[in-house]
Structure 1
Amino acid sequence: MATFQNTLHVSEHSADGKLYALLSFDGKLKIWNTETNEFQREFVPNFHLNAPFTCFTWITVDGTLGPRKTPQKKAQQSTEYVALGTRSGGVSLYSYSKSEIEYNLKGEGHQGSITAICRGKNNVLFTCGDDCRVIVWSLETGAQISSWEIGNEKPSSLVYLAESNRLVVAGRQLYLWSVENQELEQTYTGHSTNVTMLKYLVVKTKEFVLSASKTDRILTLWRIKAAKKSPNSYTYLMEDIPYSVASRVEDDRLEIAAVTRSGVLHFFAVDSLGKSIEQASNKPMKPTLTIEIANDVSQLVEPIPICSVSMEIGRAQKKLQIGYGDRQVLRFELVEPDFNERRQVLIRSGSKAVSNDAAAKKRTTNALKTITPIVNLENVEFQSKEVVPRKGNKEIPMETRLENLTFDSLGQSSAVGRNVAQLLVQALHSHDANLLRMVFLNKDEQIIRATLKRLPPQYISSLITELTVLAQKKTTHVHTSILWLKHLLQTQSSQLMAIGTIELYATFGPLLGIAEHRANTFQHLTKLSGRLDLLVNQIKQNTDHDIIEDSDLLVYEDKDSSDEDGIPQDEESSDDQWDDDAAEEEEEQVEGMEVCENGGNDSDMESDMDDDDDDENDAEEDESDDE
């Protein structure tokens, strides 16, 4: 039983393990043949007519399905069906052989979406939904049989116990219900979040249920109808949340294989299950073996995620059937566990390689074939008057060809956008870097919008991945990524809303992280730029000075009366000389007054007295000479 809450996509193997079905978020049901590694079926429902599918399970029907008006002459063989639960509360049966919805079960259904569906005895189906009810459906009559309320907690998973004719309905807790009396018999508590997966096991007439929850990294094995005093559960520890679980029971030996969200497979082996349950402790059991897959093509070793695991095909050889790759291309392989080491790494090529060479050659040959379109010339309308001749006639002249090529202003951008859209699809499908570069070089917003409008929905996720890689490069590439992403959100908003919250967050998570990181870095760079501007301005103010020139910008000479009388300009007048002498005398007087006011120094006074004595001696000598 596969439920919508399990993983990023809903998947499950058939009862014999030969078929693998996957229900993606875009509403497509895809089916692979695990023996031949071939992709065989793809069903896309009409969402305007049918409600989206939320869960499914494989069922095998012997004979006819539903009421028949006319009896069948010959008994039909067993047919594989996929019972699909819808968001509107109904159940649809998809025929694997006919590749179509063959029957819709009739009845009131659930008042909301169906969260889980499983197969019971005597062509009976059990479903639970958001309305907290369990409904029993009959495959023979194709109608609803009965229903009952299960409480206030919304169920997320359920499984039918064939030995005791009971039903386990799980929300956060596990509830054991009697199908005959529709009464609650026992409650099991152990998970912190909603249960996403339930597996039914029988070991020597003892019934067990294996459960996994939405956020717990453990698997819990419950003993049904065990004594209250003895422990009734046993846990298995993993490194991440389990997505796909397979189990195998031989005598008293239990083997469990679980694929985690990170794409790693854990293998648990319990030799004596009865003794292990009786001697169970609170400490969970660690995996016996861990298997990983790596890519050997590139120089850098890249892990290849494991998506699914099954034990039905390799039961006799004690092998595991694993499916690895991505949701677009899957490869299935039988692997024999090597218990000599605790961790085993398998080296494989990329997921696009296919082991079946004959099938690969056949697909390549079919892909190279071209189909010639059938055109009725009577219904063809030409732009020119000349009719295009048939094959074998005269070649069309260049003038006629140019006349047929008529473009208007409105249709030109749409035609270019259509061509770019086809080129973008080819680039995303082949992961060709040169083609992607050619597409992303278009900066015209009209061409970008026209391209994104014609982009198929299945390539939106790949385009977002390429834009995320582009946003991690230089500024020009970041500008291109933002431009394409803006128009993608505007043109494909309805498709993005239909993807789902979990898938949408997983797709845009790296891009949001890059944007947040760049925004935080931009804030720090802005602060640094502002501080550097302040420092540069201060340095300029301290070093730059205004250069003032001493030379006069303009000199004007006015001719006075002296010039008219013939006196040269260079010769100074007597008045100017007297003015200069008077100025010098005034300066000497001012200096003498300052000296007197200051009182002078002792040395100056002594020198003055010596000068007076010298004057007196000179006077006496002059008198003696006169006599």
Structure 2
Amino acid sequence: MGERVCFSPCGNYLVHFNVSGRLRIWETETSYLKQEFTPGSHLSSPCSCVAWISVYNSPVKSKKKKRKFGERQVLLLVLGTDAGQIYFFNVAEGEVVASLKEHNRPVSSITAAAGTDLYSSAENNIVQWDIPEKKVKRKWKCNGNVCNMLISDDNSILLTSLSSTVLCWNVETHTILRKFEGHKSNIIGLSMGVSPAGEKYVFSAAAEERLVNVWNITNTNLNKPVAMFTLPDVPSGISSNISSNGLVTFVAVCKRGSLSVYSLQLNGQCSKPLKPKTTVLVTPDESSTKKKTEVVPIIAGKVVGKGVKIAFGSSPFISCETIDLNTNDSELYLIRQDPRRSTKKKEESIKKVKSVETSSHVDYLSSASANSVSLKRDRLVLENEEKVTMESLLEKMNLSTKNIPSGDNLAHLLVQGLNSQDRDILRKVLLTPNENKIRSTVESLPAQAVLPLLKILVNLIQGRTFTSQVAAMWLQAVLRIHVSQLLADENCSSVIAPLMGLVESRLSCLGPLYQLKGRLNLLLDQATSSSVPRKPVIEFEPLLVYQDNDSPLNSNCLLEEEDDDDKENDEDDDRWTDLLNEDMSVESINGDDDGDEDSSHESEDSNENNDDEMEESSS
């Protein structure tokens, strides 16, 4: 069996035990861990079940006073083990006061009402114990392994769950009165209540179902549930109470950490399953109520009067609280501090070691500047012979940082400026345009100072021309030397994002700027060329002209041949014009009398004559 959490019948105590056998008990009013108990045989036989019982006990006679006190009621915690033993643990004394042994198998369930006998089950047997005599009173067999048991307040009816079935036993006759079947998985919780009319009701919840059934034991004609409650998740515990006016208050704790509250007026059979009236959630802060992400789990709940006692957290950090159910809200958020976190804060407050508080306005001295500063520590006394305050002494000290160290490495001074956020130190270090000094300083920087330096450089590169140029030199050195660290850092992208936008915006202006520069250069060249007087062009005659007379193609021959060709062309043109004129005159004289055939013959003859003349002229 796994972990188990349950309240005492009075609601003043909360018990929690786990598989290892460790038992813890809290006071619900103060959330104080009252007892912590580990049985000696927990390694071989851990606890398998637990139940609360109130018994009357007579204290031991006092030898000194020789008088007997009256009986008083003592709250005991009954523990069943895997070895078959049953232990009685006294909450007030914090120790085991008695033990019983009858079962040879692990004890599966235990139940007891106030002032009644104790009932235990193991395998197929149910045992009724006489607590004062510490012996078996009755014993009978059942049809299977009992998972849960519950005794009525009048000690007349015993409820047992066999897997998915609920059995109602008559304690006197050991006979089964009623048998309820309706679940499909193992039953993990039983609760009982009595109405003002005397009718007894049973509430049963299964491990893998989101429905809680309500059964009527008194009315033998009803074999089906009289009501059903729908759950938002599978349950881990239930509790119920029926008031004097017949109003049923039922709560169910779900495994996801919520508490569902139901209200029902007993008046016949319900046709539809009932939804929760209110869902209670515990959150550590107000933001979780909107996001519904972080929830402190509720692990137990019990109806006490008109309220509900809840336990939230995780063992051993558990807190208890009583809440009022007089609300009409469908969801009730309780903003409470996580018990685990509150415990850590208490431990931190107990520690004696505290961190030293330093002021942000600090001036740091480097080794080079310290040598140039002369500190005079003369004792000054005022007129009334009172000592000068520390503030006045510090004002008289020259702590200026005008002189930058002459070394090639400014890493130490740069780290001081980053830690103190001193603008003077940062300005005088970062405005150094020496590339060698920048490279050696960046190489000597510690890893934790790279990201703060990058943030400052991003701001400087957005400034004026000289500042942006020097910041670009520092940025280039940082990206080259510490690129692996920046790639591994998740916060680097958010720091460089403004720089990327700045670079893109400036690159978009680069093309128009180059065009403007080219046009301005052209205008300036034209302006300068027009203002300067032009030099006159001087023609120079050749000093020597050489002509080769032996060449067949001399200039005179060429000129003569060109003249002859022009003359021949002119003669040919004159002949063509004469021929055309003659043809025109012949056609006009003949007219239309010769007909089409004569004109065609004549045109052919004229064409032949023209061809002959052209041949003669060409020859």
TM-score (norm 2): 0.52
- 1:399-548 → structure 2 map (5 Å cutoff): none
Q: 1:280 to 1:367 in 2, by over 3 A?
A: same
Give the conservation status (yes or no) of the 8 Å contact 1:120–1:126: no
1:203 paired to 2:202: no
Give the conservation status (yes or no) of the 8 Å contact 2:237–2:300: yes
Residue in structure 2 matched with residue 346 of structure 1 by the alignment: 334
1:38 Cα deviation (Å)? Answer: 0.7
1:327 paired to 2:319: no
1:24 Cα deviation (Å)? Answer: 1.2
Match of 2:216 among 219, 223, 229: 223
Give the secondary structure class of the aligned counterpart of 2:282: strand
Q: 1:93 to 1:365 in 2, by over 3 A?
A: farther
Q: 1:141 to 1:366 in 2, by over 3 A?
A: farther
Q: 1:64 to 1:55 in 2, by over 3 A?
A: farther
Residue in structure 1 matched with residue 249 of structure 2 by the alignment: 255
Match of 2:104 among 111, 126, 129: 111
What is the number of equivalent residue pairs in this alignment? 345
Give the conservation status (yes or no) of the 8 Å contact 2:22–2:39: yes
Residue in structure 2 matched with residue 89 of structure 1 by the alignment: 84
CA distance in 1, matches of 2:85, 2:42: 15
Amino acid at match of 2:120: T
Match of 2:127 among 135, 151, 169: 135
1:331 Cα deviation (Å)? Answer: 1.1
Residue in structure 2 matched with residue 307 of structure 1 by the alignment: 299
1:116 Cα deviation (Å)? Answer: 0.9
Give the secondary structure class of the aligned counterpart of 1:62: strand
Residue in structure 2 matched with residue 179 of structure 1 by the alignment: 171
CA distance in 1, matches of 2:67, 2:4: 35
Unaligned runs of 5+ in 2: 354-487, 489-619
CA distance in 2, matches of 1:228, 1:214: 28
Amino acid at match of 1:59: I
Residue in structure 1 matched with residue 546 of structure 2 by the alignment: none
Deviations 1:492-513 (A, max 9, x none): xxxxxxxxxxxxxxxxxxxxxx
1:165 paired to 2:156: yes
1:332 Cα deviation (Å)? Answer: 1.3
Residue in structure 2 matched with residue 514 of structure 1 by the alignment: none
Give the conservation status (yes or no) of the 8 Å contact 1:226–1:232: no
CA distance in 1, matches of 2:342, 2:28: 12
Larger RCO: Structure 1 or Structure 2 (Cα < 8 Å, ≥ 6 residues apart)? 1
1:94 Cα deviation (Å)? Answer: 0.6
Amino acid at match of 2:261: F
1:352 Cα deviation (Å)? Answer: 3.1
Whose Rg is larger? 2
Deviations 1:150-176 (A, max 9, x none): 11x211001112347021111120111
Residue in structure 1 matched with residue 226 of structure 2 by the alignment: 233
Q: 1:224 to 1:364 in 2, by over 3 A?
A: farther
CA distance in 1, matches of 2:235, 2:333: 19
Residue in structure 2 matched with residue 294 of structure 1 by the alignment: 283
Unaligned runs of 5+ in 1: 370-475, 477-627
1:188 Cα deviation (Å)? Answer: 0.8
Q: 1:229 to 1:18 in 2, by over 3 A?
A: closer
CA root-mean-square deviation: 3.1
Deviations 1:306-337 (A, max 9, x none): 1111222xx2xx33221111122011122223
Amino acid at match of 1:117: I
TM-score (norm 1): 0.51
Give the conservation status (yes or no) of the 8 Å contact 1:53–1:87: yes
1:25 paired to 2:31: no
Q: 1:113 to 1:366 in 2, by over 3 A?
A: farther
Give the conservation status (yes or no) of the 8 Å contact 2:88–2:96: yes
CA distance in 1, matches of 2:29, 2:296: 20
Give the secondary structure class of the aligned counterpart of 1:74: coil
Match of 2:261 among 249, 267, 276: 267
Residue in structure 1 matched with residue 136 of structure 2 by the alignment: 144
CA distance in 1, matches of 2:273, 2:154: 28
Give the secondary structure class of the aligned counterpart of 1:320: strand
Deviations 1:428-447 (A, max 9, x none): xxxxxxxxxxxxxxxxxxxx
% identical aligned pairs: 22
Give the conservation status (yes or no) of the 8 Å contact 1:123–1:140: no
Give the secondary structure class of the aligned counterpart of 1:88: coil
CA distance in 2, matches of 1:297, 1:327: 24
Give the secondary structure class of the aligned counterpart of 1:311: strand
Amino acid at match of 2:145: K
CA distance in 1, matches of 2:256, 2:128: 36
Q: 1:56 to 1:230 in 2, by over 3 A?
A: closer
Give the conservation status (yes or no) of the 8 Å contact 2:250–2:303: no
CA distance in 2, matches of 1:122, 1:168: 18
CA distance in 1, matches of 2:104, 2:119: 15
